Structures are given as C-alpha cells and as structure tokens.
Amino acid sequence: MEAEAARYIGAGLASMALIGAGIGIGTVFGNYLSGALRNPSAAASQRTNLLLGFALCEATGLFGFVMSFIILFG
C-alpha cells in the first residue's frame, strides 16, 4: 500500500470521531430529557451532568478533527 493512501485511510478513520460525537451528543440530550420528563424536580440537579457529557462528546469530535488534519498535513 502506498504511503499516501494509508494517510487518507487514517484521516478518514480519525474523522469518524465526528460521527461518534454526534451520536453521543444526541444520546446525552435524549437521556436528560427523558429523565427530566419523568422527574421534573430532579432536572436542575442533573444539568451539570448534561453539560459535562456534552463537553466530553464535543471534545472527542474536535480531537478526531484535529488528528485527521495532523495525519493529512503533518
């Protein structure tokens, strides 16, 4: 396999983290809404977990994006 083809494959695999982050964000918000609708009084105490989950999912996507550019142009 040529080195350039391997770089493109690696960059594509690294960018798959963006899709994983999108799925993770949807899961985090969906679970929060499900819990908030079941028990509205506990929704305020779970907001910290919601924001932490969102930040971790977003960071995963950004790390994958940066890694794909490092692989392609580094």
Q: State how far the alpha carbon of 20 is from the alpha carbons of 42, 48, 60, in Å.
A: 28, 22, 8
pLDDT at 14: 79
- Domain 3-73 in CATH 1.10.8.640? The answer is no
pLDDT at 38: 93
- For 11-44, what is each residue's pLDDT tens digit? 888 777 777 777 778 888 888 889 999 999 988 8
Q: How far apart are CA 51 and CA 73, in angstroms?
A: 33
Of residues 52 and 20, the one with the higher pLDDT is 52
Helix 47-73 crosses helix 3-38 at what angle (to 10 degrees)? 170
Q: pTM of the entire structure?
A: 0.71
